[in-house]
């Protein structure tokens, strides 16, 4: 069936990690199984053995593509115990064992979604599956999708049902699905299970269990450059002073994925507008249109002259359109709801991974335990820059920055570009010990190695120039 990506986005159910891992209280099973119409449409080398040792280190409370609803604890506090578990797993399980391979005409693919096509995060995954099917020539009856699957035992039931229907590979897209998918993977060793945004594949001891994410922080950095160019234009036009170049950011939860995202966005903006500062407010929800609009309006009232977001609805761009304040969205192009405000949106191109993973099954080759790619592999993008709003020369600057990310000459979390704790370099803060010591394994060669030791985001540091507030 055709997918119409509606811009009014429904609220997804997400349950805290702690609840997911300890409580099995089934909710009503909302399962919509349907066969798909195909739409438009790299292998990565295996992570170093050290990724197995450290995969659990900074990812327990941080991964929030669809995640928990508790505040972020210090992610690295979990490192010691989790490293032990990962070490016991051993490097032999860092990559799935190769299989026999299968004909493209015989493969069947299952997908478990927390939302449906009305919700931006899920819509992006659906587009990726569509791209995979187009790339590999799969027919409608070879893909089975289950939508609106909560982060409870419904996820296990969905995985088992897909396995029993003959799926050779099964994807689950929300953080809280992971423990249930691992349970199913243990019961179906001949089926490959791939989970987005999670962290437990390396420590599970299962060669058929995999985690995947993308380097969305790269796209957020580039979208930050777009924002910084706009701030410079506003300064040059006399609309604001340099000291008034304050960005507002509508965040979902104070998790590493969100913190990593708004930090990279801010660093991108400040790379071209040095005076930029940023205020972050959290909504405590992934998808709350009214709440996101309210937070955006509050940020504007607080003096923010440009708004960005890590939230799934059009609430913030709608508020910006009304207030005539430029904005940067997320997941989808926001110009249809904010034609006079929306600059661009960072977006995930999940089709790269879905094509890769299914191709591995077809070829009988291993799937990486942890997979994460960025601009170099076309796994992340920004939506077309809105020329009606963007500053002159933005497209050329975007091309320049993307090229630098692709060739490795630019690192988003270059430690010379930010300070912490009132003016310290991150290296100096780590050397002093205390709370920053837990980041030592992530910093080398002058930058923080985001999503390299494991696929999930780990950067959860509030750097100088950013203030944050959680709204109750």
Catalogue all structural domains in the chain, each as residue range(s) with its CATH number. Answer: 17-214+350-377 (3.40.50.2300), 216-345+383-432+458-470 (3.40.50.2300)
Q: Which helix (H) or strand (E) holds 279?
A: strand 277-282
DSSP-derived 3-state class of residue 382: strand
The whole-angstrom separation of Cα 59 and Cα 458 is 6
Torsion sign across C-alpha atoms 374, 376, 377, 378: positive
Residue 427 contacts residue 444 (beta carbons within 8 Å): no
Write out pLDDT tens, residues 350-400: 999 999 999 999 999 999 999 999 999 999 999 999 999 999 999 999 999
Q: Rounded to two decimals, what is the model's pTM?
A: 0.79
Rounded mean pLDDT, 92-100: 46
User: Residues in the chain, how many?
Assistant: 472
Q: What angle do CA 41, 42, 45 make, to 5 degrees?
A: 160
Q: Is it the case that residue 91 has pLDDT exceeding 70?
A: no
Confidence band, pLDDT 50/70/90 cuts, at residue 471: low
Q: Is it the case that residue 423 has pLDDT exceeding 50?
A: yes
pLDDT cut 70: percent of the chain above it: 78
Q: Quick one: pLDDT at residue 449?
A: 97
Q: Quick one: pLDDT at residue 89?
A: 34
Burial class (CB in 10 A: 0-12, 13-18, 19+), 237: exposed
Strand order in the sheet with 306-310: 306-310, 246-251, 277-282, 466-470
Rounded mean pLDDT, 171-180: 95
The whole-angstrom separation of Cα 181 and Cα 136 is 25
Q: What are phi and psi of 330, to 5 degrees?
A: -155, 140
Query: Which is higher by pLDDT, 439 or 46?
Result: 439
Who's near 423: CB < 8 A, 6+ residues apart? 464
Write out pLDDT tens, residues 312-343: 889 999 999 999 999 999 988 999 999 999 99
Mean model confidence pLDDT for the chain:
83
Write out pLDDT tens, residues 456-469: 999 999 999 999 97
Q: What are phi and psi of 26, to 5 degrees?
A: -60, 135
Write out pLDDT tens, residues 394-413: 999 999 999 999 999 999 99
* Alpha-carbon distances, residue 207 vs 89, 97, 124, 166, 193 (angstroms): 10, 6, 27, 19, 9
């Amino acid at each position: 069936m055709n997918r119409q990506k509606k811009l009014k986005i429904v609220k997804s159910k997400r349950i805290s990690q702690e609840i997911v891992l300890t409580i099995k209280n089934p909710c009503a099973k909302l399962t919509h199984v349907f066969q798909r119409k195909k739409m438009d449409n790299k292998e990565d080398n295996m992570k170093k053995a050290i990724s197995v040792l450290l995969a659990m280190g900074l990812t327990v409370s941080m991964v929030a593509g669809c995640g928990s609803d508790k505040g972020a604890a210090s992610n690295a506090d979990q490192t010691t115990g989790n490293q032990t578990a990962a070490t016991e797993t051993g490097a032999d399980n860092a990559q799935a064992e190769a299989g026999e391979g299968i004909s493209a005409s015989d493969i069947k693919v299952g997908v478990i979604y927390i939302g449906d096509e009305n919700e931006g995060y899920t819509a992006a995954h659906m587009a990726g599956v569509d791209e995979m099917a187009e790339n590999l020539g799969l027919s409608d009856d070879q893909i089975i999708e289950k939508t609106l699957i909560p982060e409870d035992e419904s996820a296990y039931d969905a995985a088992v049902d897909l396995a029993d229907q003959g799926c050779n590979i099964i994807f689950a897209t929300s953080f809280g699905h992971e423990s249930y998918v691992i349970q199913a993977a243990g019961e179906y060793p001949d089926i490959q299970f791939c989970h987005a945004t999670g962290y437990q594949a390396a420590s599970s001891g299962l060669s058929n269990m995999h985690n995947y994410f993308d380097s969305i922080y790269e796209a957020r950095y580039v979208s930050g450059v777009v924002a910084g160019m706009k701030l410079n234009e506003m300064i040059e036009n006399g609309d604001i002073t340099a000291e008034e170049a304050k960005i507002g950011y509508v965040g979902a939860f104070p998790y590493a994925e969100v913190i990593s995202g708004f930090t990279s966005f801010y660093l991108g903006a400040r790379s071209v507008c040095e005076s930029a500062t940023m205020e972050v407010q959290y909504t405590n929800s992934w998808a709350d249109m009214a709440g996101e609009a309210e937070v955006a309006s509050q940020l504007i009232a607080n003096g923010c002259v440009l708004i960005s977001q890590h939230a799934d609805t059009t609430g913030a761009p709608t508020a910006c359109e009304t207030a005539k304040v430029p904005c940067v969205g997320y997941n989808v192009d926001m110009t249809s709801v904010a034609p006079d405000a929306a600059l661009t949106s960072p977006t995930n191109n999940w089709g790269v991974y879905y094509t890769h993973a299914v191709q591995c099954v077809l070829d009988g080759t291993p799937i990486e335990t942890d997979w994460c790619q960025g601009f170099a592999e076309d796994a992340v993008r920004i939506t077309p820059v809105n020329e009606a709003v963007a500053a002159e020369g933005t497209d050329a600057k975007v091309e320049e920055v993307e090229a630098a990310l692709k060739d490795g000459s630019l690192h988003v979390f270059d430690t010379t570009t930010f300070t912490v704790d009132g003016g310290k370099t991150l290296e100096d803060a780590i050397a002093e010990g205390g709370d920053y010591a837990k980041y030592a394994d992530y910093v080398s060669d002058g930058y923080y190695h985001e999503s390299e030791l494991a696929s999930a985001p780990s950067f959860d540091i509030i750097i100088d120039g950013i203030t944050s507030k959680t709204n109750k």
